[in-house]
A and B are shown apart, each in its own frame.
Chain A
């Protein structure tokens, strides 16, 4: 019975645990529950992925109500992969969370913090797994609301305005998606994604559907922080508690990219999106701008969390760029980068959370001489940084390779140059940190720093090590990405 209901359990387990967590008295107990739940969620996600690999697409009807009237969960290669990514990051961040928030969140509020994290996890998993457009909106709002609350927990009071700004922009984005879904429902009478895909071609050439498409793209763009709708991201990531930034940076925007891919390729279909509507021509310039502007602004940041936030804007640009090519190679690049970027940014932000725990701040001057005082943490930072630059034998190299290949296959040499140029910009901002950490002596009045606590160090090392392992053995990641890409483009095996 459990096996057949795994899709539901993927969402239900964290959902039910959240209020239980909130009712627990002590932060430590809540933490143990969170860790257990996140690892369970990962186990379920992996089981679902294996089932998709062996048995094909999984169709699950919630409550036994048949689609398209009931809510159906539909798991193919793409979702299964994103589920593993989200659950995996959750499983890595949860153990680190107890120590990570020790100096940032008061003990009496910690149970509710963990409850919010579980809700965010629920929402993200739900967005990924559902096959119903309105259900997607509901889970989107669950995840977003939990995220707003999480960001507002930051130690600096600027976290509050950051959370408020995020709330306003996020709600506008989600409401745009709601409008789009509503318009789609008006024209087709269904909310089930597969059913929409079947019914849309008949009504595709109407202004309503054009408007629906536009609303959904803009709404999703806000959620995934596509330039110029990225304004909420730098403040939110910079001021949120370290562990929250790690979690959000590695999952939130990935799910946003997933939503974009799902709507563009599955619901509307590539012919409509790219031939009837000029999605390629609109998405590509904004993606390129995001890449360039994000990288450039990152170079001038003194606060490293903010620098990584702008770096994320650039990396999201890469993923959007891959989608805009509308080719198999481009989609492989995007999907593989979902995984690789989650590894990289997860490691980087978690390492910074450890630094913040030990030093109290994360600006460039605080990080002087950190290479000697926190050697393993900084080694992981360097490894993940090299992956960000795209040095071969790291995961980032694989994504870059496919992205440049897609650009060349599309005949767009200038785009290839921009992609590689952004790697060089990444080199500049990553190396600033490396130089300061290894070449400068700590300031005289710097607080003494020791290595990160083990519960944080192990996830950091696993994530950084993963960034190298999956740069060498890419059979699993690229294999899944290729299968997912083919399914999205309709050229499935």
Chain B
């Protein structure tokens, strides 16, 4: 067993370092585009391999820890791999590989500029994501959280034009303001009261401060983790849609937004502890804010004609599902929320992939332009259908499980209002998401669609993989479920 433990630390370090080593290698390979793309793909494959190997160990009960330097006396950059972080790392690394394949198709098909810069910062962003996933204390989490914001800024502003600059400003402005203004304050206050910032199952704050202080602290965390897009700090998500679609797909369906809700779950489970969160009155108020976000974002999504904007607001809504699950402080809610990280990731990335494929193949960006597109691009729209059904939460797609658990959580906690919110939101999802592929397949096509072909093959391949992932998550949820049970002490 000890040989495996030593191996686990080594694996963790290797996984952490892989993207950071990959980035300069991409720069070195910039002369030949095929060689450069190969470096990205190899880095991604290596990362997936390492993360999978780690998964074997963590699923068996190992919790490898790693401590690096102390930037502040007594507070180290430390890593601890636990089930939630393992899940996040699996999703991020696996989908990075898929997205890299997709990006190659998209960037080449669209003749984008500055591709080297794109791939380098993509690798850096993934490096920050893995660092975040494996963080062992709040300081490390904060460091990689900020690193993620900064490394994704050049990706969001990739096109370098006025719109990109404005979008980048909103993106950076909201994310840095919330993280420095609220999150950092919360972390320092936590350090003052608890004396430590380590992630400990059961939390570090129990009994250290009066309830009202803990309540304020929880609010600071929920609003400070701006990447979870809880209203009113959600505007950065639609603003980030100025980015090229591969960026929107991986980062804003998977890495950045999941980093947000992941951090919320980590704080709830490992800083406060589920029982403490259940006791604080503020959790209830914050749950209402999350519920409001779910509904308002769904309604706004209904009214958006721009496809990416609609998907952005859908993401805002879905993220608050997870925040709600966390704040319910109920075992089913936590497990459901954590599962939703996985199921929503696959579903949303499929939708974004499809949106990008449509744009590259036909130049269309608006929902109203997609009538009858199903005949010309059947695989793309088919995948879109699968993705939207998964998000709605219908079997036989993975989203069904996470939604089921979340609903069960609301019932278990006796919160019927929230149950109603979830059901209403699912209904709205059907209206604003499923209607798109329905219209694409069953409406009469526009005349100027004649001769429209499918998207570039690499894009289509990626689409099929993620759509299949949605299906697989429904058929084989066991491993996921068993991985997550220790979070709630089961």
Contacts and interface: CB of A to CB of B under 8 A. Distances in A.
Q: Do chains A and B touch in the complex (CB under 8 A)?
A: yes
A302 interface: no
B191 A420 contact: no
A427 B176 contact: yes
23 contacts: A386-B150, A392-B71, A392-B146, A393-B71, A404-B188, A405-B191, A408-B188, A409-B192, A417-B181, A423-B180, A423-B181, A424-B176, A424-B181, A427-B172, A427-B173, A427-B176, A427-B180, A431-B169, A435-B165, A439-B157, A473-B69, A475-B70, A475-B73
B69 A472 contact: yes
Residue from A391, A471, A482 with most neighbouring chain B CB atoms (10 Å): A391
A401 B73 contact: no
B313 interface: no
B72 interface: yes
Q: What is the interface of chain B mostly: helix, strand, loop, or mixed?
A: helix
A427 B180 CA distance: 10
Contacts of A389: 176, 180
B185 interface: yes
B72 A398 contact: yes
A13 interface: no
Chain B interface residue number, banded: 20 to 34
Contact of B185 (A420, A431, A474): A420
Interface in A124-154: none
A37 B407 CA distance: 74
A325 to B, nearest CB: 14
Nearest to A436: B165
B180 A474 contact: no
Q: What are the 6 closest A-B residue pairs judged by CB atoms, nearest first? A: A392-B143, A404-B188, A408-B192, A423-B180, A439-B165, A424-B177
Contacts of B173: 427
A478 B181 contact: no
B173 to A, nearest CB: 8
A405 B139 CA distance: 14
B72 A401 contact: yes
Interface in B165-214: 165, 169, 172-173, 176-177, 180-181, 184-185, 188-189, 191-192
B160 interface: yes
Contacts of A474: 70-73
Contacts of A424: 176-177, 180-181
B181 A420 contact: yes
Nearest to A482: B73
Interface in A466-487: 471-475, 478-479, 482
Contacts of B185: 404, 416-417, 420
A431 B180 contact: no
Contacts of B172: 427, 431
Contacts of B73: 474-475, 478-479, 482
B142 interface: yes
Given A404-B188, A416-B185, A473-B69, 8 more contacts: A397-B71, A408-B189, A409-B192, A420-B180, A423-B181, A431-B172, A439-B164, A474-B71
Nearest to B162: A439
B43 to A, nearest CB: 22
A404 B70 contact: no
A478 B189 contact: no
Contacts of A392: 71, 139, 142-143, 146-147
Contacts of A95: none
Contact of B143 (A393, A405, A409, A435): A393
Nearest to A393: B143
Nearest to B150: A391
Contact of A478 (B72, B142, B143, B177): B72
Contacts of A472: 69, 71
Contacts of B189: 408
B146 to A, nearest CB: 5
B143 to A, nearest CB: 4
Interface in B244-299: none
Nearest to B149: A391
Nearest to B192: A408
A486 to B, nearest CB: 14
Interface string A380-417: 00000010011111000110110011001100000011
A244 B184 CA distance: 36
B184 A420 contact: yes
Contact of B180 (A390, A473, A475, A482): A390
A25 interface: no
Contacts of B71: 392-393, 397-398, 471-474
Contacts of B165: 435, 439
Contacts of B169: 431, 435
Given A472-B69, A473-B69, A475-B70, A405 B188 contact: yes
A52 B192 CA distance: 32
A404 B192 CA distance: 10
Contacts of B142: 392
Contact of B184 (A398, A404, A475): A404
A421 interface: yes
A416 B188 contact: yes
A470 to B, nearest CB: 10
A460 to B, nearest CB: 21
A482 to B, nearest CB: 8
Interface string B63-76: 00000011111000
A400 B184 CA distance: 10
B69 A401 contact: no
A209 B6 CA distance: 66
Contacts of B143: 392-393
Residue from B71, B142, B160 with most neighbouring chain A CB atoms (10 Å): B71
Contacts of A408: 188-189, 192
A431 B160 CA distance: 15
Nearest to A440: B165
Interface string A102-138: 0000000000000000000000000000000000000
Residue from B150, B165, B177, B180 with most neighbouring chain A CB atoms (10 Å): B180
Contacts of A401: 72, 188
A232 to B, nearest CB: 31
Contacts of B69: 472-473
A94 B54 CA distance: 52
A336 to B, nearest CB: 10
Contacts of A416: 185, 188
B370 to A, nearest CB: 33
Contacts of B72: 398, 401, 474, 478
A373 to B, nearest CB: 16
A392 to B, nearest CB: 4
A397 B179 CA distance: 13
B318 to A, nearest CB: 29
B394 to A, nearest CB: 42
Interface string A7-49: 0000000000000000000000000000000000000000000
A424 B165 CA distance: 18
Contacts of B191: 405
Residue from B147, B157, B188 with most neighbouring chain A CB atoms (10 Å): B188
